[in-house]
Amino acid sequence: MAEYCTEEKVAFNGKRVEILGPTFEEGKPGTPMNWRNKLRNREEMLAYLKTGERYWFNDEWFGSEKRKTKA
Protein backbone atom coordinates (compact mmCIF):
# COMPACT_ATOMS: atom_id res chain seq x y z
CA MET A 1 0.00 0.00 0.00
CA ALA A 2 1.29 3.43 -0.92
CA GLU A 3 2.06 5.99 1.74
CA TYR A 4 -0.17 9.04 1.53
CA CYS A 5 0.59 12.35 3.17
CA THR A 6 -2.05 13.62 5.56
CA GLU A 7 -2.76 17.07 6.91
CA GLU A 8 -4.31 18.11 10.19
CA LYS A 9 -7.07 20.71 9.90
CA VAL A 10 -9.76 22.20 12.11
CA ALA A 11 -13.29 21.07 11.24
CA PHE A 12 -16.37 23.33 11.27
CA ASN A 13 -17.20 22.12 14.79
CA GLY A 14 -13.75 23.07 16.14
CA LYS A 15 -12.31 19.54 16.40
CA ARG A 16 -8.97 18.75 14.83
CA VAL A 17 -9.25 16.19 12.06
CA GLU A 18 -6.71 14.43 9.86
CA ILE A 19 -7.44 14.64 6.16
CA LEU A 20 -5.83 13.09 3.12
CA GLY A 21 -3.40 15.37 1.32
CA PRO A 22 -2.73 15.56 -2.42
CA THR A 23 -2.65 12.15 -4.11
CA PHE A 24 -1.88 13.15 -7.69
CA GLU A 25 1.43 12.86 -9.48
CA GLU A 26 2.73 16.20 -10.64
CA GLY A 27 3.62 16.71 -14.26
CA LYS A 28 2.14 17.29 -17.68
CA PRO A 29 0.46 14.79 -20.01
CA GLY A 30 2.67 13.19 -22.64
CA THR A 31 0.63 14.60 -25.50
CA PRO A 32 -1.50 17.68 -24.89
CA MET A 33 -5.12 17.45 -26.03
CA ASN A 34 -6.44 20.03 -28.49
CA TRP A 35 -10.19 19.93 -29.10
CA ARG A 36 -9.84 21.68 -32.46
CA ASN A 37 -7.84 18.78 -33.89
CA LYS A 38 -10.65 16.32 -33.06
CA LEU A 39 -13.22 18.21 -35.12
CA ARG A 40 -13.16 17.88 -38.90
CA ASN A 41 -14.76 21.11 -40.10
CA ARG A 42 -16.26 24.44 -39.12
CA GLU A 43 -19.79 23.04 -38.65
CA GLU A 44 -18.58 20.49 -36.09
CA MET A 45 -16.68 23.21 -34.21
CA LEU A 46 -19.76 25.44 -34.08
CA ALA A 47 -21.95 22.53 -32.90
CA TYR A 48 -19.42 21.76 -30.16
CA LEU A 49 -19.42 25.37 -28.95
CA LYS A 50 -23.22 25.70 -29.11
CA THR A 51 -23.61 22.54 -27.01
CA GLY A 52 -21.27 24.00 -24.41
CA GLU A 53 -23.21 27.27 -24.34
CA ARG A 54 -26.49 25.40 -23.91
CA TYR A 55 -25.05 23.43 -21.02
CA TRP A 56 -23.77 26.48 -19.12
CA PHE A 57 -26.14 29.30 -20.00
CA ASN A 58 -29.55 27.94 -21.08
CA ASP A 59 -32.64 27.86 -18.85
CA GLU A 60 -34.22 24.88 -20.65
CA TRP A 61 -32.70 21.60 -19.46
CA PHE A 62 -33.22 17.96 -20.18
CA GLY A 63 -32.45 14.94 -17.99
CA SER A 64 -29.25 14.99 -15.96
CA GLU A 65 -28.22 18.39 -17.33
CA LYS A 66 -30.80 20.18 -15.18
CA ARG A 67 -29.13 22.53 -12.70
CA LYS A 68 -30.79 23.85 -9.56
CA THR A 69 -28.84 27.11 -9.80
CA LYS A 70 -27.45 28.92 -12.79
CA ALA A 71 -23.72 28.73 -13.43
Taking the C-alpha atoms of residue 51 and residue 53, their distance in angstroms, rounded to an integer, is: 5
Confirm if 51 and 66 have CB atoms less than 8 A apart: no
B/e letters for 40-66, b = 16+ CB within 10 Å, e = fewer, are: eeeeeeeeeeeeeeeeeeeeeeeeeee
Taking the C-alpha atoms of residue 9 and residue 16, their distance in angstroms, rounded to an integer, is: 6
pLDDT for 38: 83
4-58 pLDDT, tens digit per residue, is 888 899 988 999 999 888 887 778 878 777 877 888 899 988 888 887 776 666 6
Taking the C-alpha atoms of residue 70 and residue 56, their distance in angstroms, rounded to an integer, is: 8
pTM: 0.35
